[in-house]
Amino acid sequence: MLGAIIGDIVGSRFEFGEAPKKDFTLFTDDCGYTDDTICTVAIADAILHERSYQESLRDWCHRYPRPMGGYGGRFQDWLESDDPHPYGSYGNGSAMRVSPVGWLFQDYHDVMNEAKASAACTHNSEEGITGAQCVATVIYWLRTCRINRDEVESAVQRNFHYSLPTIEEVMKIGRTGHFDATCSETVPMAVRCFLESENFEDAVRKAVLADGDTDTKGAITGSIAEAYFDIPDNITEKALSYLPKDMLEIIDEFIDTIGKE
């Protein structure tokens, strides 16, 4: 969850801004949390307090109606509707918000079912659900050491039918100005960025350097990298300094629950 938030904040200034350059500064005054952080906090809150995913997502997004970068158009319509229904999205939003599921459930089937439920209130498409299930499951596998890093690529291929692009392909896609907005594009790219990384910071840097949907690719990659690498304290502290009090309270509760600190 922290990994997602850090990746989101680091990537935030490049989503609609200039392309990131090698050795870019991780945190500047132009960074901020975006919808990825808000929705991730909402999913954690739903699980920690037994709220429905839909109710928690709408509550948190209504509390923060105009985040940096805004919300996607159809998600915004869903937020504003008095009678919201899932709209078959296959966008990467289901994958960027799911990381708490990979930490707060202790059984593979629960992780799969809850990832699906967290997606389905908006992303009730096979692609949207698969993206969420893949990210939550990789987090669960890595944090419980059910598989090691060398096995991730084949496990992702076998279980979720994603074939991963090479890191060179990941970097090239962004340079064309292409904006990766779907689960089937962003999730395999994020997994590859993690697999090629030397540490947590390197994973997030690779994801953001790949350009395109920088905050969401940073969030998904960061959420996976957190399950394998330690996050340096100074990076966590800096990221948390961008967040309001009510989000910090959920994060504290999440950390207490998973017993990390």
Applying CB under 5 A, the residues found at the interface with Mg ion are 34-36, 69, 215
Q: Minimum distance between the CB of residue 259 and Mg ion, rounded to whole angstroms?
A: 29
Give residue number: closest CB to Mg ion: 34
- At closest approach, how far in Å is the CB of 220 from Mg ion? 11
Nearer to Mg ion, 96 or 111 (CB): 96
Smallest separation, CB 69 to Mg ion (Å):
5
Q: How far is the CB of 72 from Mg ion (least distance, A)?
A: 9
Of 69 and 212, the one with the shorter C-beta distance to Mg ion is 69
Nearer to Mg ion, 38 or 136 (CB): 38
Decide whether 70 or 84 has the Cβ nearer to Mg ion.
Answer: 70
For Mg ion, the closer CB: 128 or 141 = 128
Distance CA 19, CA 61 (A): 28
Q: State the minimum distance, in angstroms, from the CB of residue 6 to Mg ion.
A: 13
